[in-house]
Amino acid sequence: MIIARRWPLQFVEHNRLANGLTRTATVTVRGKSFDTPAFMPVGTAASVKALTFPHLLEMGAKICLANAYHLYLRPGTEIIKSLGGLHGFTNWPGAILTDSGGYQVFSMEGVRKITDDGVHFKSYLDGSPHYFDAEKVIDVQLALDPDIAMILDDCTPYPADQARAQKGVDLTVNWAKRAIEYFDSLGLYPETSPNLFGIVQGSVYPQLRRACAERLVELDFTGYAIGGLSVGEPKEDLWSMLEVTVPLLPDDRPRYLMGVGTPEDLVLAVARGVDMFDCVLPTRNGRNGTAFTSRGSITAKAGRYKASNEPLDPDCECFVCQSYSRAYLRHLLNLNHMTACTLISYHNMWFYLKLMESLRKAILENTFSEYMERFLSLYRSGDKSSADAKEDQ
């Protein structure tokens, strides 16, 4: 039976709130489990910037993201395949999801050409010509051998008029259909095959989001991503698009909001039924010295911390907060020591992963609303640990 062959993914829901959307579950893919809501550290090129995989293991990450487009260009899929796929290459024992690269290809205005069949683009490394289509990104991802693979979609830029957004939905659905057909034709074994997730597009048009979701649900993917958001649109559009889309997705399969977001975004999206997230913020901000804390984000390099004996976050139990003062971290940032990037990225990633753990616990114990209210209130209160904290933030 085709469903069984295609989808070796287990989704076991533990609790669902009265809104019918917010839930906590365990997803198992090829023997690797992760609890949802889950945050996936972003290892675009098979490495999470400034951190090591043992760091991610010790802080409890269970699934990481990598990017097929970047790895296809460098070091090349054949090299990774010959070294045992992404799991062999990275030695990461948890689950791996690869993005198809649709977002990257589509954001390269000027060096790519979209046709109904696929996308022609030039390598940013050497200008060499390449072509991705629905089938090709499956071949690339099968060589990389992740646990979850994404279809090629049209990541519609923002703003887009309705005609452009409609075109994006048509392309995405057409390519999704070709992806499913091609994937099925390969006759993969369910125990060893990656899962394929569909991606809902439709810009900020409710009727397009709805149409795209419905047409993808007919194609019967194991999981559904919501793409093309957090690309510049107002926050209220992000929330209303989730509110339109999530209820249309099958509630026995994971829902993944791509590329989102801040700690507040994660909490508000979980409230709206999202199960999976990825975002570069914890590591990107870590590298530029911005730390997420229970009282909002702080710029660790700020002069007012030069003799501060406080940790980044008084409520955090990560080794950085247990070991180092803001003064120490500021000192390392001033020296441009890469260890500062590592330490703050570590704290930020810990903050994200522990936030997800707290959200799961609150959902399980039916205390999600109270948790959300308390978290947002403290997070929005700002860092009061230094007398003049609000002044230059």
Q: How far is CA 309 from the centre of its chain?
A: 34
Report how far residue 203's alpha carbon sits from residue 375's, in angstroms, rounded to the nearest whole number.
30
In whole angstroms, give the CA distance from residue 225 to residue 213.
10
Structure tokens given for 78: 């054949």
Interaction between residue 49 and a copy of itself (CB under 8 A): yes
CA distance 375 to 354: 12
In the chain, where does DSSP find H-type helix?
Answer: 2-6, 53-58, 68-73, 77-82, 85-90, 102-106, 134-144, 162-185, 206-218, 235-245, 263-271, 281-287, 319-323, 326-334, 338-364, 368-379
* 99 catalytic residue (yes or no): yes
Nearer to a copy of itself, 22 or 141 (CB): 141
Please tell me what DSSP assigns to residue 249: S
Q: Is 46 in the site for a copy of itself (CB under 8 A)?
A: yes
Q: What is the smallest separation between the CB atom of 134 and a copy of itself, expressed in angstroms? A: 27
Binding mask 292-331 for a copy of itself (x = CB under 8 A): --------------xx-x---------x---xxx-xx-xx
Residue count (the chain):
393
The position carrying tokens 């003049």 is 388
C-beta closer to a copy of itself: residue 76 or 234: 76
Residue among 154, 265, 278, 383 flagged as catalytic: 278
Of 16 and 304, the one with the shorter C-beta distance to a copy of itself is 304
Identified binder of a copy of itself from the candidate list 343, 344, 356, 362, rule CB under 8 A = 343
Q: Smallest distance, Å, CB 383 to a copy of itself?
A: 19
Binding mask 84-123 for a copy of itself (x = CB under 8 A): -----xxx--------------------------------
Please answer whether residues 200 and 212 qualify as being in contact, where contact means their C-beta atoms are separated by less than 8 angstroms. yes
- Look up residue 340 and give its DSSP letter: H
Structure-derived torsion over alpha carbons of residues 107, 113, 115, 120, reported in degrees to the nearest 10: -90
Min dist CB 345 to a copy of itself, Å, is 10
Q: Which of these ranges, 18-26, 79-87, 153-161, 248-256, lies near a copy of itself under the rule CB under 8 A?
A: 79-87
Per annotation, catalytic residue among 35, 99, 133, 383 = 99
Binding region for a copy of itself (CB under 8 A) out of 76-84, 103-111, 184-192, 218-226: 76-84
**Site size with a copy of itself, rule: CB under 8 A:** 39
268 within 8 A of 239, measured Cβ to Cβ: yes
Residue 340 and residue 172: Cα distance in Å, rounded?
41
Examine residue 53 and tell whether it contacts a copy of itself (CB under 8 A): yes
Contacting residue, 75, 157, 250, 382, with a copy of itself by CB under 8 A: 75
Q: Which of 14, 74, 164, 390 binds a copy of itself (CB under 8 A)?
A: 74
- Active site (catalytic) residues: 99, 278
Name the site residues for a copy of itself (rule: CB under 8 A).
45-54, 74-75, 79, 82-83, 89-91, 306-307, 309, 319, 323-325, 327-328, 330-332, 334-335, 337-343
